[in-house]
Structure 1
Amino acid sequence: MKKADCKISDAEWIVMKVLWEEAPLTSTKIVEAVSSNKNWSPKTIHSLTSRLVKKGFLGVNKEKPLYEYYPLVDKRDCILDETRSFIQKVYDGSIHLMLANFIKEEKISEKEIEELERLLNKKNNK
Structure 2
Amino acid sequence: MDNREKAKLTDTEWIIMMLLWEKNPLTCRQIEDNLKEETGWSRHTIISFLKRMQKKNYVRMEEANPARLYYPLLDKNETVLQETRSFAKKIFDGKMGLLVSSLVDSEDITKDEINSMLQSLKKALVERDEQNG
TM-score (norm 1): 0.85
Aligned pair count?
125
Aligned position for 2:114: 113
Hey, which bits of structure 1, 4+ residues long, moved more than 6 A? none
2:90 alignment partner in structure 1: 89
Paired position in structure 2 for 1:41:
42
Structure 2: gaps of 5 or more residues: 128-133
Runs of 5+ unmatched residues, structure 1: none
The match for 1:77 is 78
1:11-50 to 2 correspondences below 5 Å: 11-50=12-51
Percentage of matched positions with identical amino acids: 35
Secondary structure of residue in 1 paired with 2:71: strand
Root-mean-square deviation (Å): 2.0
Pick closer, same or farther for the CA change 1:108–1:62 going to 2, 3 Å. Answer: closer
Deviations 1:51-89 (A, max 9, x none): 111110111112544211111111111111111111111
User: Higher mean Cα deviation, 31-40 or 11-20?
Assistant: 31-40
Distance in 2 separating the partners of 1:27 and 1:107: 35
C-alpha displacement at 1:39, in angstroms?
1.4
> What secondary structure sits across from 2:34 in the alignment?
helix
Deviations 1:3-59 (A, max 9, x none): 632211001111111211211122111111121321122222111111111110111
User: Greater relative contact order (Cα 8 A, min sep 6): structure 1 or 2?
Assistant: 1
DSSP 3-state at the match of 1:70? strand
Report the TM-score when normalising by structure 2: 0.81
Of stretches 53-62 and 18-27 in structure 1, the one that deviates more from structure 2 is 18-27
* Contact 1:58-1:71 within 8 A present in 2 as well: yes
- Contact 2:104–2:114 (CA under 8 A) maintained in structure 1: no
Which has more helix, going by share of residues? Answer: 2
Q: What do the CA deviations read for 1:99-124 (whole angstroms, capped 9, x no partner)?
A: 22222233433333322222222222
Tell me if the contact between 1:52 and 1:58 (Cα under 8 Å) persists in the aligned partners.
yes
Which residue is equivalent to 1:123?
A: 124
